[in-house]
């Protein structure tokens, strides 16, 4: 489980690094990509869709409305939990 | 002609101690803005002959000072969307003969990527910090020299600002406007929305978008205060209106949709609001009435295009009776509805909306043929469909051109289709926009794969989708990436044998999905 979380977390971090307009930022598990404005709306939506496709999972609006899901690690944990089950 | 700059300078001298810009809780007076603009004008004119300046800026003071400095030296500015890929950026700059790119440090990484492309060799890249350092080195007494050199070397270009209409990987559409036209457009807004120097105007749109430009020049040429939001969220918007007593707002419909419920809940804090202007906002008359009663705030509905400015306006007094319309033509604007052969159609018949306006653009930069083919007898062919009533009120029906508008950005499906069709398993693809209540439209990619179509092949299609998303994530800007991929055996055809996007759109619109729900949930906690 931990390995999957770490793999998803790395995937999210790389996605943010590739799509952010911010310069010289360090993205890690505790980064809040919404509050820190690391991604614009389109890049955020594209990330959710990419995660769903990449890991063959679904994230419901109810789940995404949890503010903790804006944090890289929590989002990775949610995705990983769905991959496992 | 530096008429826009001179109007600003006159205004700045009248209101020198007044706050011109509020952004990120920093306030800048007209005097400070004018000084910065004069300094940068001098620096820019010494850097290069005939500057054509693209900028990647988000700070309001930088954007305002740069665009006005460029107006002063009668040069050309090309505001650019930093979300574009490096290839898209450099292609856009090449199409508009950009010779300087000025950028804020947060875009340094993107600039480095652009510099790695061979077709950016001729461009001088300058950060705001480097521009400031160069400015400090220039002695004030050089001004007369600069002015003299300028008048010798710089011809009088009539273009002032070029808006790149899309992040096209093919051919960007560079819409050129003169200073006279930008000033006249600001004057039109003052008149339509009764804007005077007591007003505080909110701008929550980026400057590379024509609405963002309008929301800078409308207040700054009039002596109003401009309140600028770098990034929109409903909470920031509400706080800005409340804290800075914003009175006038011109908004894209997606912002208004996100705000809708908040406006009534926060009515007490929004008493300063006098006017909200919007285009095709999903807001009904009942809501407008409720808001008027709670806040005392009017709604104007408008229709227009970057090429012709605002063409029609629906005044609050007409909203009740004419709720399906986008209003009547603005002063000195004439509208015709044309058939396929560009012949004029009778009233209440749907056809292409053609607009004749004194606020017309200069043309598509260096694309004479495209410019000429966009007019018929002095009327600009908008590519939009609509109908005119007996009393002149216009109803907007949809778009004739194959463009998707998502979050206020024009997106050309062809660019996306070209990128995705590069995958060897794609036989045919059609990229469409389907209706979405938040973003206006969202992008779907309908693909016909070479794989034998079979429900059992589900796993293979899932793998294909992953690969297509990787291509999109790598080669397309985030706003161009399809939200969903669908796989079909074939695409529906028109009687003449072409793919019928109309039928595909109809089919997928019928799914009636709340496409942007995940985004709203994540950004605004809205289920």
Cβ-Cβ pairs closer than 8 A, A with B, add up to 90
- Distance, in Å, from the CA atom of B306 to the CA atom of B327, rounded to the nearest integer, reads 18
Question: Taking the model in full, what pTM does it have?
Answer: 0.76
Residue B375 structure tokens: 């007019």
Residue of B nearest to A56 (CA): B462
DSSP state of B194: T
pLDDT above 70 as % of chain A:
96
Which one of A36, A42, A51, A52 makes the best mutation probe of the B interface by having the most chain B beta carbons within 10 Å?
Answer: A42
Say which CATH superfamily domain B23-179 falls into.
ANL, N-terminal domain (3.40.50.12780)
Beta bridge pairs of residue B309: B305
B169: left (phi > 0), else alpha (psi -120 to 50), else beta? alpha
Residues in chain A within 8 Å Cβ distance of B467: none
- Name chain A contacts of B473, Cβ cutoff 8 Å: 15, 18-19, 46, 50
Q: Which residue of B has its CA nearest to A37?
A: B231
Cβ atoms of B211 and B408 closer than 8 Å: yes
User: Where on the phi/psi map is residue B407: left (φ > 0), alpha (ψ -120 to 50), or beta?
Assistant: left
CATH 3.30.470.10 fits B404-524, yes or no: no
In chain A, the largest separation of any two C-alpha atoms, in whole Å, equals: 37
The structure tokens 């389109």 sit at A42
* Residues β-bridged to residue B444: B432, B484
Rg (CA), chain A: 12
Q: pLDDT at position B284, please?
A: 67
Q: List chain B residues with pLDDT less than 70.
A: 1, 139-157, 166-171, 280-285, 452-456, 494-498, 526-527
Task: Summarize pLDDT for B240-284 with one digit per residue, the tens.
Answer: 999 999 999 998 877 787 787 788 889 889 999 999 998 755 566
- Distance from the A59 Cα atom to the nearest Cα atom in chain B, whole angstroms: 8
DSSP string, B286-351: HHHHHHHHHH--EEEEEEEETTTEEEEEE-HHHHTTTTTS--EEPTT-EEEEE-TTSPBPPTT--E
What's the domain count of chain A?
1
> pLDDT, tens digit, for every residue of B480-498?
999 999 999 888 876 656 6
The first and second tokens of residue B477, run together, are: 């800007």
Chain B residues with beta carbon closer than 8 angstroms to that of A46? 472-473, 478, 481, 483
Residue B297 to residue B277: CA distance in whole angstroms = 10
ipTM above 0.90, yes or no: yes
Coil, strand or helix at B499? strand
Q: What is the pLDDT of residues B468-479, one digit of tens each?
A: 999 999 999 999
Contact between chains at B521 and A15 (C-beta distance less than 8 A) = no
Domain that holds residue A65: 2-84
On average, the pLDDT of chain A sits at 92
Interhelix angle B458-475/B413-420, rounded to 10 degrees, is 120
State the pLDDT at residue B151: 46
**pLDDT number for residue B167:** 38
Counted residue by residue, chain B has a size of: 527
Measured in angstroms, the CA of A79 and the nearest CA of chain B are apart by 14
Q: Do B481 and A70 touch (CB under 8 A)?
A: no
DSSP assignment string, B232-270: --HHHHHHHHHHHT--EEEE-HHHHHHHHHHHHHTGGGG
Task: Report the alpha-carbon distance of residue B317 to residue B315 in Å, rounded.
Answer: 5
Q: Give A40's contacts in chain B (Cβ within 8 Å).
A: 83, 231, 478
Query: Do A43 and B478 make contact, defined as CB atoms within 8 angstroms?
Result: yes
Q: B393: phi > 0 → left, psi -120 to 50 → alpha, else beta; which?
A: beta
Residue B523 C-alpha, separation from nearest chain A C-alpha, in angstroms: 7
* pLDDT tens-digit series, residues A21-64: 777 788 999 999 998 889 999 999 999 999 999 999 999 999 99
H-type alpha helices, A1-85: 2-19, 41-54, 61-64, 72-84
**What is the per-residue pLDDT for B290?**
81
Q: How far is B40 from B479, CA to CA, in rounded Å?
A: 33
User: Chain B 402-431, CB below 8 Å of chain A: which residues?
Assistant: 406-407
Interchain pair A56, B462: CB under 8 A: yes
CATH number of the domain encompassing residue A37? 1.10.1200.10
**Residues A41, B519: C-beta atoms closer than 8 Å:** yes
**A48–B522 CB contact, under 8 Å:** yes
**Angstrom distances, CA of residue B505 to CA of B314, B353, B435:** 29, 22, 9
First to last CA, chain B: 52
At residue B526, the pLDDT reads 60
- Partners of residue B472 in chain A, C-beta under 8 Å: 46
Please state the domain extents for chain B. 23-179, 404-524
8 Å CB contact of A61 and B520: yes
Rounded (10°) CA dihedral A23, A24, A29, A32? -40
Question: What does DSSP assign to residue B487?
Answer: E
* CB-based contact B110 A44, cutoff 8 Å: no
CA distance B387 to A72: 50
């Amino acid at each position: 489980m931990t390995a999957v979380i770490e793999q998803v977390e790395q995937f999210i971090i790389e996605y943010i690094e590739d799509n952010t307009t911010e310069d010289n930022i360090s993205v890690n598990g505790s980064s809040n990509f919404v509050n820190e404005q690391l991604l614009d709306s389109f890049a955020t939506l594209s990330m959710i869709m990419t995660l769903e496709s990449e890991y063959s999972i679904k994230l419901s609006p109810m789940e995404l409305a949890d503010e903790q899901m804006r944090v890289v690690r929590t989002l990775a944990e949610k995705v990983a939990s769905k991959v496992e089950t | 002609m530096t008429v826009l700059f001179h109007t600003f300078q006159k205004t700045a001298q009248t209101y020198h101690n007044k706050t011109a810009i509020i952004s990120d809780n920093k306030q800048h007076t007209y005097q400070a803005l004018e000084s910065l603009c004069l300094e940068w004008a001098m620096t820019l004119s010494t850097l290069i002959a005939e500057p054509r300046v693209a900028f990647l800026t988000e700070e309001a003071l930088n954007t305002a000072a740069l665009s006005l400095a460029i107006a002063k030296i009668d040069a050309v500015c090309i505001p650019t969307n930093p979300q574009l890929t490096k290839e898209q950026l450099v292609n856009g700059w090449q199409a508009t003969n950009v010779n300087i790119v000025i950028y804020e440090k947060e875009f340094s990484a993107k600039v480095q990527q652009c510099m790695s492309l061979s077709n950016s060799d001729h461009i001088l890249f300058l950060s705001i910090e480097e521009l400031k350092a160069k400015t400090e080195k220039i002695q004030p007494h050089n001004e007369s020299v600069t002015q003299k050199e300028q008048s010798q070397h710089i011809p009088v270009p009539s273009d002032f600002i070029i808006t790149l209409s899309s992040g096209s990987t093919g051919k960007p559409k560079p819409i050129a406007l003169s200073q006279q036209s930008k000033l006249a457009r600001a004057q039109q807004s003052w008149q339509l929305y009764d804007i005077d120097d007591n007003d505080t105007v909110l701008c929550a749109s980026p400057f590379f978008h024509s609405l963002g430009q309008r929301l800078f020049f409308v207040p700054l040429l009039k002596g109003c205060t401009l309140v600028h939001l770098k990034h929109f969220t409903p909470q920031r918007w509400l706080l800005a209106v409340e804290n800075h007593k914003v009175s006038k707002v011109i908004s894209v419909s997606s912002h208004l949709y996100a705000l809708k419920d908040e406006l009534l809940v926060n009515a007490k804090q929004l008493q300063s609001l006098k006017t909200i202007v919007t285009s095709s906002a999903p807001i009904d008359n009942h809501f407008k009435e409720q808001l008027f009663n709670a806040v005392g705030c009017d709604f104007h509905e408008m229709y227009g295009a970057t090429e012709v400015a605002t063409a029609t306006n629906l005044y609050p007094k007409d909203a009740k009776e004419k709720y399906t319309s986008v209003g009547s033509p603005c002063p000195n604007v004439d509208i015709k509805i044309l058939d396929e052969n560009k012949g004029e159609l009778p009233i209440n018949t749907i056809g292409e909306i053609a607009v004749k306006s004194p606020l017309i653009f200069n043309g598509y930069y260096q694309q004479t043929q495209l410019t000429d083919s966009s007019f018929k007898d002095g009327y600009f062919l908008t590519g939009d469909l609509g109908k005119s009533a007996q009393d002149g009120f216009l109803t907007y029906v949809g778009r004739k051109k194959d463009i998707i508008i998502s979050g206020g950005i024009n997106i050309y499906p062809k660019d996306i289709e070209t990128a995705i069709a590069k995958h060897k398993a794609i036989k045919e693809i059609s990229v469409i926009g389907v209706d979405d209540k938040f973003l206006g439209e969202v992008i779907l990619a309908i693909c016909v794969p070479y794989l034998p179509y079979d429900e059992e092949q589900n796993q293979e299609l899932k793998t294909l989708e992953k690969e297509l998303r990787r291509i999109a994530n790598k080669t397309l800007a985030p706003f161009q990436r399809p939200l969903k991929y669908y796989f079909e055996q074939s695409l529906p055809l028109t009687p003449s044998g072409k793919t019928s996007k109309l039928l595909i759109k109809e089919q997928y619109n019928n799914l009636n999905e709340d496409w942007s729900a995940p985004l709203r949930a994540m950004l605004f906690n809205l289920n």
